[in-house]
Amino acid sequence: MNDTADVAPAVRSILAAARDRDGGSERLSVDARSLPRAFAAAESDGRVPVIAEVKPTSPTTEGTREGDPVELARQMVDGGAAALSVLTEPEHFGGSTENLRRIREAVDVPVLRKDFVVREDQLDLVESDVILLIARFVDDLSGLLDAAEARDFQALVEVHDGEELAEAVEAGASIIGVNNRDLAKLEVDLSTFESVAPAVPEDVTLIAESGVTTPEDARRMRDAGADGLLVGSAIMAGDVRTETEKFVNAEAHE
């Protein structure tokens, strides 16, 4: 585990729980829906490629969003989401692998498993199309990336700065997300993406994560080079279909 002494207490708590969480008992092999193809299809339809996130709660939001996760997911897809992100971390985000399983069965878009995966056996808990690997919190990023791809997962490797980006590129990541949230202070700064994006190889699918709260933010991230946007709290805060449509159509209303 990389050094986490300088991260926020809430994040340390999440990581402690992640280290203690059991993995799967049988190695998975998935038939993944392509995230890059889903992004390309959205682009061809004139939509901003949005990964809409089913997030019941989080340490940085107040309260819990009620409602059937499957119905919320369907409304996001009806609103034009190119893909979905589903929280499976139970203690701090109210997620579950069962929610992901049910949602993936109910929709036809790629589904990202959003969790703190720190060991290979934790890849085997549930099938998804995309798995999140956070560079800062993985000891052997190259090894875990290889293990994910050996199971036919697509891996979204999350970075926050140039050093982590270099590690992700060296490991062979083909999908990279830049998290605008500083996990040391839990503060969000959209200029983080703008500073990291220019160094991302052109053949990498690049995603802006965290802090996209308005259509203006969406356009800003797209102008900075984002192939897609991961939007959670801003969509979950209102009618999820309407809010998804707002971001999907951000470039149509400039």
Tell me how crowded residue 144 is: count the other CB atoms within 10 A of its CB: 22
Separation between Cα atoms, residue 164 and residue 147, nearest integer Å? 19
Q: Active-site residue 114, yes or no?
A: yes
Please identify which of the residues 89, 99, 114, 120 carries the catalytic annotation: 114
Please identify which of the residues 99, 179, 194, 246 carries the catalytic annotation: 179
Q: Active-site residue 209, yes or no?
A: yes
Q: Active-site residue 55, yes or no?
A: yes
Q: Active-site residue 66, yes or no?
A: no
Please identify which of the residues 164, 194, 209, 243 carries the catalytic annotation: 209
- Quick one: three-class SS letters along 203-232? CCEEEEECCCCCHHHHHHHHHCCCCEEEEC
64 half-sphere exposure, CB direction, 13 A CA radius: 11
Q: Active-site residue 127, yes or no?
A: no
181 half-sphere exposure, CB direction, 13 A CA radius: 18
Q: Active-site residue 249, yes or no?
A: no
Please identify which of the residues 210, 243, 245, 246 carries the catalytic annotation: 210
Q: Active-site residue 89, yes or no?
A: no
Please identify which of the residues 89, 120, 158, 245 carries the catalytic annotation: 158
What is the full DSSP assignment across 39-84? HHHHHHTT---EEEEE-S--TTS-S---S-HHHHHHHHHHTT-SEE
Backbone phi, then psi, for 154, in 5-degree steps?
A: -90, 145
Please identify which of the residues 53, 127, 167, 194 carries the catalytic annotation: 53
Cα 68 versus chain centre, distance:
20
Which residues form the catalytic set?
53, 55, 114, 158, 179, 209-210
